[in-house]
A and B are shown apart, each in its own frame.
Chain A
Amino acid sequence: MFKLVLVNLFRNKIRTFLTMASVTVALFLFCTLGGVLDTLQESIKVGSESRLVVRNKISLVQWIPMAYRQRIQSVPGVKLVAVQNWFGGQDPNDKRGFFAQFAVDEPYMAIYGKDFEIVQHSDAQAGVAVPEGVDPKLAAFYLERTACVVGQKLLVKKGWKIGQTITIAGTIFPGDWPMTIRAVYHAKNKSFGEEVLFFHYKYLSEKGLGGQEPVGTYVLELSDPSQASRVIQAIDSQFENAAPATLTETEQAFSAGFVSMYGNVPFVLRVIGLAIVFSILLIAANTMMTAIRERTSEFGVLKTLGFSDGAVFRMVVTEAAIITLGGGLLGALGAKFLVDGSAMTSGFLPPMSVYWSTVITGIIIAVVIGAISGLIPALQASRLRIVDALRRVD
């Protein structure tokens, strides 16, 4: 009986191929869109719960003074405090090619030490002690004020080399900023991002701010993550009536803030995903119906030979399910393997993720579509009376 299904599948190869291909394409798209939502989810996970971010309460764009650093450091439960400043520069040769640059101070590399590994580095000219908890391979970076560390993907994309001096044009901080690449990192954690450039905060404050020291955000490492809410309270209440007031949140909540900026984009993607599913349903149902209509007399013969109504019903449903399952597997897995890990164009997001749950949802949808689109023709075929089926001559 299964053999009969197979024979039927192969008798009109073009049709089977076209239907399967349209299901493949639709499921690929469905899973890719689902992947965008997954990526948004993933970017919320960027932060660990044990790290906090302090920013100006008004908005991220407003600065907070360096003077807060000592006061934050002295809050019980805070292990390390690092400065992280958005630089917003551009590659003068490629102004549209966005990538992130951060000016960071010494403890930063220690706080994020577990999230990346150094894959290439310049050797330090002199013996220099790196801050505690920092990879000694970063010695050359710490020795030189205009040094920078870049992500491996960014290095490859821009065609830069280790030891090369590059120029970044400032938009927030005017002027040209020469920097020398002293280390290249590989992100161990996908959410850390591999297209980022880090350089010394001192360079920024001395050259760009004339010695002034305003800070974009402070990143804190806690000695005990379970104390997070107490530390948040302690910091924010300390600066509540100061100008400027601060807003402290876990790194996770901080990243989630970026995701919420996309507004109802996720909703729009969901609607599009549903429209796609509905349109493949139509295509598949249409094909199955024409396929069954053509074979009316055959079903008559089958029934004459003694196949029961139920058997005919199952045969048609199986045929439909195989077509859509095949297409579904191809499309969903295709999305998983082609899209997963590829870089997004819009800067703030980590590389694309497609969760297995999305892939499996896609495959289930495909099977359900197969079943539904096979249902009506299968019912028609199973209810067919032999006399009617064989009477038709065309």
Chain B
Amino acid sequence: MAIPLAYNLRSVLNRPMSTATTALGIGLTVAIYIGALALAAGFKASLVSTGDPDNILLLRKGADSEISSGISLEHSNIIKANPAVAVGPDGRPRASTEMVIVVNKPRLGQTGSSNVMLRGVDAAAADLRGGLTIVAGRMFTPGTDEVIVAKRIAGRFANCNVGDKLRFEQRDFTVVGQFTASGSAFESEIWGDANVLMPALNRTGFYQTLVFRPKDPKQFAQIKKELESDPRLQVDVKHEREFYADQSQAFTTLITVVGTFITVIMAIGALFGAANTMYATIGARTREIATLLVLGFTPFAVMLSFMMESVLLALIGGLVGCILSLPMNGITSSTTNFQSFSEMAFQFKITPPIMVQALVFSALLGVIGGFFPALKAARQTLSRSLRA
């Protein structure tokens, strides 16, 4: 017969101080674990949600990011004329040729500077890339020295408020609006008209990216084959979504590796703490355990019971960790994504699966930390225990 769980619950509550310190120790470990996962999830979310699932993106063959790519005006016209490209109601192809470069700008509220992505777009871009919402001011007027800035980075760099001037090379551009883009990577960018920005930045003749909507998205494989095998073009053809997801890979991997490293080491520390507490508990309750054995509970039941107690303790810690980590949710932070060599703003994103994962993690800490102490409890011989 199993020992009732209430027994463990009561003994945990019986030593509030010891329970609290152990739980808090485990809780901090869990909180850091959640933090690392939330950071990776938030970063990934902003890149994975970028673009439209139907859109097709073209880069120069071999280019691994937008800034290292280049597509000439001539080639972009060949691609736009391809019959696979959808045509908009205005009779023009639903395609956007874009200039992408990084501009170095001083940070606000922090020393130093960082790179911001500046995207010169076609008039078709807003409709094509979708999800763009102007939250302050208005959209830029094509053909003028006007730009719009993503809301997320507006607070992180100087001169990004509506009405401010941003200087690129010898020309001043006026910020006329701020935008959001449903949490995507575009929320770390500055947008303007490609035809105005390119000459201003001495970048005539070459675009970086071409994005278009195909007439029939199911034909992707065929379109890819056709364009990639065209000897004139020398391009790589990808799903827009897939490209941005790839861009997040290096950073997400780095965060996951660093986060796991920190968590594993902290977990070892927390395990020692949990084991210590359990050893002390069992040491103090030698006679109690003996009594349980005399009453006829099997050593296995005793062991199980103490394991349960350890898991219970760890789960309390896990809950504490979840609560401690909650204020992190939604915090916006930014760092350089070295794959695109520009600043990426992202939000910590604590999702229910991450919470569940954290609780499982804490329970696991309890199981491992409680195993040897519980074994010790179960192996006590009656004669010695009762004498103690």
Chain A residues near B (Cβ < 8 Å): 14-15, 18-19, 21-22, 25-26, 28-29, 33, 57-62, 88, 90, 96, 98, 169-172, 174-175, 241, 243-245, 247, 256-257, 259-265, 268, 272, 275-276, 278-280, 282-283, 285-287, 289-290, 294, 345-348
Residue B6 interfacial (CB < 8 Å): no
Residue B21 interfacial (CB < 8 Å): yes
Residue from A90, A245, A264 having most chain B Cβ neighbours under 10 A: A264
Residue B135 interfacial (CB < 8 Å): no
Contact of B102 among A19, A61, A88, A263 (CB under 8 A): A61
Task: State the Cβ distance, A150 to closest chain B Cβ, in Å.
Answer: 21
Q: Are B201's CB and A174's CB within 8 A?
A: no
Q: Are A58's CB and B103's CB within 8 A?
A: yes
Count of residues in B whose CB is under 8 Å from the partner chain? 61
The docked-state distance in angstroms from the alpha carbon of A170 to that of B279 is 60
Q: Which residues of A contact B110 (CB under 8 A)?
A: 260, 263-264
Q: Which residues of A contact B21 (CB under 8 A)?
A: 282-283, 285-286
Q: Are A169's CB and B343's CB within 8 A?
A: no
Q: Which residues of A contact B268 (CB under 8 A)?
A: 21-22, 25
Q: Are A171's CB and B68's CB within 8 A?
A: yes
> Which B residues, 1 to 40, have Cβ-Cβ distances below 8 Å to chain A?
17-18, 21-22, 24-25, 28-29, 31-32, 35
Q: Are A28's CB and B265's CB within 8 A?
A: yes
Q: Which residues of B contact A260 (CB under 8 A)?
A: 107, 110-114
Q: Are A261's CB and B336's CB within 8 A?
A: yes
Residue B129 interfacial (CB < 8 Å): no
Q: Which residues of A contact B283 (CB under 8 A)?
A: 294
Task: State the Cβ distance, A94 to closest chain B Cβ, in Å.
Answer: 14
Give A262's nearest chain B residue, CB to CB.
Answer: B335
Q: Are B28's CB and A25's CB within 8 A?
A: no
Give B280's nearest chain A residue, CB to CB.
Answer: A290
Q: Are B115's CB and A283's CB within 8 A?
A: no
> Which B residues, 319 to 357, have Cβ-Cβ distances below 8 Å to chain A?
333-336, 338, 341, 343
Give B345's nearest chain A residue, CB to CB.
Answer: A263
The docked-state distance in angstroms from the alpha carbon of A136 to that of B202 is 41
Q: Are A282's CB and B24's CB within 8 A?
A: yes
Q: Are B266's CB and A26's CB within 8 A?
A: yes
Q: Are B18's CB and A290's CB within 8 A?
A: yes
Report 13 cross-chain contacts, Cβ distance below 8 Å, ordered by A residue: A18-B275, A18-B279, A33-B262, A58-B201, A88-B68, A98-B250, A257-B113, A260-B112, A260-B113, A263-B335, A276-B28, A280-B25, A282-B24
Q: Are A58's CB and B104's CB within 8 A?
A: yes
12 new A-B contacts, CB < 8 A, other than A61-B115, A172-B68, A256-B112, are A15-B279, A21-B268, A58-B104, A171-B65, A175-B62, A257-B112, A261-B115, A261-B336, A263-B114, A272-B35, A282-B273, A294-B284
Task: State the Cβ distance, B60 to closest chain A Cβ, in Å.
Answer: 6
Q: Are A287's CB and B269's CB within 8 A?
A: no
Residue B139 interfacial (CB < 8 Å): no
Q: Which residues of B contact A257 (CB under 8 A)?
A: 104, 112-113
Task: State the Cβ distance, B25 to closest chain A Cβ, in Å.
Answer: 5
Q: Which residues of A contact B32 (CB under 8 A)?
A: 272, 275
Q: Are A346's CB and B273's CB within 8 A?
A: no
The docked-state distance in angstroms from the alpha carbon of A280 to that of B265 is 12
Task: State the Cβ distance, A248 to closest chain B Cβ, in Å.
Answer: 14
Contact of B67 among A25, A61, A241, A261 (CB under 8 A): A61
Q: Which residues of B contact A58 (CB under 8 A)?
A: 101, 103-104, 168-169, 201
> Which B residues, 339 to 388, have Cβ-Cβ distances below 8 Å to chain A?
341, 343
Contact A278-B254, Cβ < 8 Å, known A58-B169, A243-B169: no
